[in-house]
Amino acid sequence: MQKRNKTPTSDAEKIIKLVQSQTKFIQPSQAVVIQEDSINFLKSLPDESVDIIITDPAYSGMNQKMKFGNGRIVGKYQKEGNGKWFTEFHDTKENYSAFLGECKRVLKKDSPIYIMFDSFSLLSLGSLVREYFDVKNIIVWDKVNLGMGHNFRRRHELIIYASKGKPKIASRSLPDIWQIKRITRAEYPTQKPVEIFEKMISASVGKGAIVCDPFIGSGSSAIASLKSGCYFIGSDVSPKACGITRNRIKKFIDIGLDPLQQNIINAHQKSIENF
Ligand SMILES: C[S@@+](CC[C@H](N)C(=O)[O-])C[C@H]1O[C@@H](n2cnc3c(N)ncnc32)[C@H](O)[C@@H]1O
């Protein structure tokens, strides 16, 4: 199917310039990152200004649940404040509703949103998504290798695919289970494979689209956007996350390499074959 290219370059550039004006950092015209709270960042964007939202929020519920069982987070992220863990988004229903409301406002008509969830957050907050969007699917990300966990060990995460209006999809034969290996020895806690975000983008928008991620972390969604020929705007409250992402974007644009995921070319090829 012919992919969409809904946003004329001039519109995209206007949005990029607007976001760029919020930061003192000089950044490439394809991808701009702002150090800001997600809701404040979204509030700074005009109505109906982005083509797709792809995001992986920091659920505090997840962190609390990870302390269940033996009462501790397992592994190198165990001590909060040790610089390896990150700030939590306060995922109360009120805050999450405000977040979803802003996502809806900034999305163009007939556009999709992909939101990642762990199982616990899906139970507590997933139903709120239906108050703002038309929920189309819950996609399972099969991480292939076992992760941490008590009782049954975790091997998956979930992605709500929802829409404002009636977005197009690239093919009617895409599966709702995506098998992509987790990142091991990640430089950033909860760093996700670029291929997950590439799947979201390639299923929904074409080159020149504006992709938005209000919780960028290490910037995997930004790299996926650049690889797909899209513009990217995003935020994170953490200065560390913004620094990592800006460097990652710069290296990717300057030398075509992703410093945080060097397997990317083979992995990308493999993910296309599996799609
Ligand atoms: C699950 S991580 C995102 C990981 C990212 N997908 C990646 O591949 O690296 C969530 C991010 O949300 C950020 N965060 C927490 N509270 C936030 C807030 N209120 N606004 C914006 N970002 C926030 C954290 O600093 C963290 O980097």
Predicted pLDDT at 25: 87
Q: What percent of the chain has pLDDT over 70?
A: 82
Residue 188 contacts residue 260 (beta carbons within 8 Å): yes
Q: Is the pTM of this model over 0.75?
A: yes
The answer to whether the CB of 235 is under 6 A from ligand 1 is: yes
Model confidence at 273, pLDDT cuts 50, 70, 90, reads: very low
Predicted pLDDT at 184: 86
Predicted pLDDT at 7: 54
Q: Which atom of ligand 1 is nearest to the CA of 57?
A: 10
One-letter amino acid for residue 1 of the chain: M
Residue 115 contacts residue 58 (beta carbons within 8 Å): no
Examine the pLDDT at 275 and tell me if it is beyond 50.
Answer: no
Predicted pLDDT at 3: 56
What's the pLDDT tens digit per position in 124-165? 999 999 999 999 999 999 999 998 878 899 999 999 999 999
| Complete domains list, the chain, with CATH | 9-274 (3.40.50.150)
Alpha carbons 86 and 80: distance in angstroms, whole number: 8
Model confidence at 24, pLDDT cuts 50, 70, 90, reads: confident
The answer to whether the CB of 206 is under 6 A from ligand 1 is: no
DSSP annotation of 181: P
Q: Which atom of ligand 1 is nearest to the CA of 55?
A: 6
Residue 211 contacts residue 50 (beta carbons within 8 Å): yes
More confident call, 3 vs 207: 207
- Best of 236, 247, 258, 260 for a ligand 1 pocket test (most atoms within 8 Å of beta carbon): 236
Predicted pLDDT at 5: 58
More confident call, 12 vs 245: 245
The answer to whether the CB of 99 is under 6 A from ligand 1 is: no
DSSP collapsed to 3 states, 72-106: CCCCCCCCCCCCCCCCCECCCHHHHHHHHHHHHHH
The helix or strand, by DSSP H or E, that contains position 231, with its residue range, turns out to be strand 231-236
What's the pLDDT tens digit per position in 31-75? 999 999 999 999 999 999 999 999 999 987 644 544 433 333 333
